[in-house]
């Protein structure tokens, strides 16, 4: 099985409102990634998007982005894994290179979510639930995450103070990220004064609805020889779980995230103690806490503690959301998994400026589809 390397990255600023359409967003990100890699010859383009057909009325998105980016005629496919669609595109690119099918792949995630009103968007996001058991009965992503928060608070005897540090940390790290949608800090008072949107879930517990696109260029060893140093993808894995939250044996145990991490650790020959930074799927603060537990950084019921001790900060033991994460950089759902890898790449290449994690050599990213129904994990290492 061949090694896979990240040769270049590109992204558009995340926005709560953009005049660009989804095709142009994806095209801009792909063009920037190709420029960063210094490449013009590409074998295939894989694009992840959750809502391109529903919001933008555009299917066959990958073919259109290929055309816009000057790649017309290459293999171009669109990948859907709900909020993990972008990470799914990266996974497809890794498989193609590992198998020897292609030498150069571009993986892109693109989403234009602000075309509909908030209620319509919330309803559309319910498509990432088990529709027959949850969505059609009035459940949505907000209500399900609120249920998780309630269960966690009741089982482990914590209050909202357990969740606050994760929101504060994300906003602290987004201040110097020119591509973040929220470039301001928040205080504890701001968190506690933010309105409850689905008890006990507060507005500042949740990532915003956004537009954006990110892209990475992946290459085999043959192509990598022209790019040194660079970043190798040491693991690319997927795990899945029972879709309906109420049907899971233990809703607070994210089985998809656990299995995906375990496979990634085995594939890479590493463990959680080797990870220098972790880009978690922090769409909700409760998911961040459960992700830290699923990845082995904390025991069950203790995932909130790294937030209280400062271990999640840039100079901490396990930095997370280093450029603002989904929470403050923004969460254009199908693109977020690629943004995470772009952020990890910048860290490993010492290109994160004020947000640089000192000595970062190994990074892990994890992207969720729905309420961790699908979890896609990547481990990256600077070569």
Query: What are the residue numbers of the active site?
Result: 83, 331
Contact 180, 330 (CB under 8 A): yes
Q: Which two tokens stand for residue 310?
A: 């400062």
Compute the distance between CA of residue 332 and CA of residue 16 in angstroms, rounded to an integer: 9
> Could you give the 3-state DSSP secondary structure of residue 357?
coil
List all residues 6 or more positions away from 276 whose beta carbon is below 8 Å from its beta carbon. Answer: 319, 347, 357, 359, 360, 361, 362, 363
Residues facing residue 239 across a β-bridge: 375
Dihedral sign of CA atoms 102, 60, 209, 291 in order: negative
Contact 355, 322 (CB under 8 A): yes
Compute the distance between CA of residue 14 and CA of residue 48 in angstroms, rounded to an integer: 16
List all residues 6 or more positions away from 325 whose beta carbon is below 8 Å from its beta carbon. Answer: 170, 173, 174, 207, 279, 280, 282
Residue showing tokens 């928060």: 149
User: Looking at residue 126, what DSSP letter applies?
Assistant: G
Contact 89, 107 (CB under 8 A): yes
Long-range pairs for 362-365 at CB < 8 Å and ≥24 separation? 362/234, 362/270, 362/274, 362/275, 362/276, 363/275, 363/276, 363/277, 363/278, 363/279, 364/261, 364/264, 364/275, 364/277, 364/278, 364/279, 364/295, 365/87, 365/278, 365/279, 365/337, 365/340, 365/341
> Could you give the 3-state DSSP secondary structure of residue 216?
strand
């Amino acid at each position: 099985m061949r090694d896979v390397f990240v040769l270049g990255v590109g992204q558009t600023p995340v926005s709560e409102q953009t005049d660009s359409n989804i095709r142009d967003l994806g095209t801009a990100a792909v063009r920037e990634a190709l420029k960063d890699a210094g490449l013009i010859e590409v074998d295939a383009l894989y694009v992840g998007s959750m809502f391109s057909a529903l919001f933008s009325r555009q299917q066959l998105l990958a073919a259109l982005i290929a055309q816009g980016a000057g790649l017309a005629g290459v293999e171009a496919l669109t990948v859907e894994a709900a909020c993990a669609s972008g990470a799914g595109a990266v996974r497809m690119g890794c498989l193609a290179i590992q198998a020897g099918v292609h030498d150069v792949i571009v993986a892109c995630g693109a989403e234009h979510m602000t075309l509909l009103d908030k209620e319509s968007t919330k309803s559309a996001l319910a498509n990432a639930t088990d529709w027959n058991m949850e969505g059609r009965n009035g459940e949505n992503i907000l209500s399900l995450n609120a249920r998780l928060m309630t269960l966690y608070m009741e089982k482990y005897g914590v209050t909202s103070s357990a969740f606050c540090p994760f929101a504060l940390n994300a906003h602290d790290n987004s201040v110097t990220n020119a591509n973040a949608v929220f470039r301001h800090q928040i205080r504890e008072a701001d968190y506690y004064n933010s309105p409850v949107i689905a008890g006990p879930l507060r507005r500042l517990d949740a990532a915003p609805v956004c537009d954006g696109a990110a892209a990475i260029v992946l290459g085999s060893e043959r192509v990598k020889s022209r790019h040194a140093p660079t970043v190798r993808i040491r693991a690319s894995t997927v795990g899945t779980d029972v879709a309906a939250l109420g049907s899971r044996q233990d809703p607070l145990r994210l089985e998809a995230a656990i299995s995906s991490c375990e496979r990634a650790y085995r594939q890479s020959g590493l463990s959680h103690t080797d990870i220098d930074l972790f880009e978690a799927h922090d769409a909700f603060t409760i998911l961040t806490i459960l992700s830290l537990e699923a990845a082995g950084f904390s025991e069950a019921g203790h995932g909130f503690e790294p937030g209280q001790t400062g271990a999640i900060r840039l100079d901490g033991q396990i930095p997370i959301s280093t450029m603002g994460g989904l929470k403050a950089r923004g969460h254009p759902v199908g693109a977020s998994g690629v943004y995470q890898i772009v952020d990890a790449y910048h860290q490993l290449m010492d290109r994160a400026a004020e947000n640089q994690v000192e000595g970062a050599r190994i990074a892990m990213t994890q992207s969720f589809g729905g309420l961790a129904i699908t979890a896609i994990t990547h481990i990256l290492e600077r070569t």
